[in-house]
């Protein structure tokens, strides 16, 4: 925990290898002191069938950061701002096309319902 998840339409033009983006994102998030680098986990989901408004030609990128509860609103806002800044930087590197929406969301996972299992 925390988890960073990128969901994006295939038509957005993101590369298939997003590891450099996630490494940068995780380092920037850890630099805030709000989350710890060794605990960050990133993954991406590429969607084939996408409709934005009433168009199948437009693309989207959605980045979600899921953190355990207990952080203040200000801390979550800071994580959101850092994530958006990193995503904006990489959007320029990727030379995106037809992207109608780039969105960042920070959500809380309740400590009381979260389970972590280790394999022996």
pLDDT of 17 reads 93
Q: Is the pLDDT of residue 11 over 70?
A: yes
pLDDT surpasses 90 at 57? no
Question: What is the tens place of the pLDDT at every residue in 25-52?
Answer: 999 999 999 999 999 999 999 999 888 8
Look up the pTM and report it: 0.88
Q: What is the pLDDT of residue 107?
A: 93
pLDDT given for residue 114 in this prediction: 67
What are the residues facing 7 on neighbouring strands? 45, 62
- Domain boundaries of the chain, sorted by first residue: 3-109
Edge-first strand listing for the sheet containing 99-109? 41-47, 3-9, 59-68, 99-109
Residue 2: pLDDT band with limits 50, 70, 90: very high
- Look at the domain 3-109 and name its fold: Macrophage Migration Inhibitory Factor (3.30.429)
> From CA 117, how far away is CA 16, in angstroms rounded?
30
Cβ(59)–Cβ(100) below 8 Å: yes
Give me the pLDDT at residue 5, please: 96
pLDDT tens-digit readout, 60-119: 899 999 999 999 999 999 999 999 999 999 988 988 878 888 899 999 987 677 667 788
Burial degree of 115 (CB within 10 A; 0-12, 13-18, 19+): exposed
Distance CA 23, CA 29 (A): 10
CA 109/CA 101 separation, integer angstroms: 25
């Amino acid at each position: 925990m925390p988890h960073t998840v990128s969901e994006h339409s295939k038509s957005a033009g993101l590369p298939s290898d997003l590891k450099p983006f996630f490494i940068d994102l995780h380092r920037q998030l850890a630099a805030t002191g709000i989350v710890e680098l060794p605990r960050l986990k990133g993954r991406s989901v590429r969607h084939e069938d996408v409709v934005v408004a009433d168009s199948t030609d437009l693309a989207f990128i959605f980045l979600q950061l899921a953190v355990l509860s207990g952080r203040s609103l200000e801390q979550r806002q800071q994580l959101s701002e850092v994530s958006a800044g990193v995503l904006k930087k990489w959007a320029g590197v990727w030379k995106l096309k037809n992207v109608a929406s780039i969105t960042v969301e920070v959500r809380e996972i309740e400590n009381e319902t979260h389970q972590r299992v280790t394999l022996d």
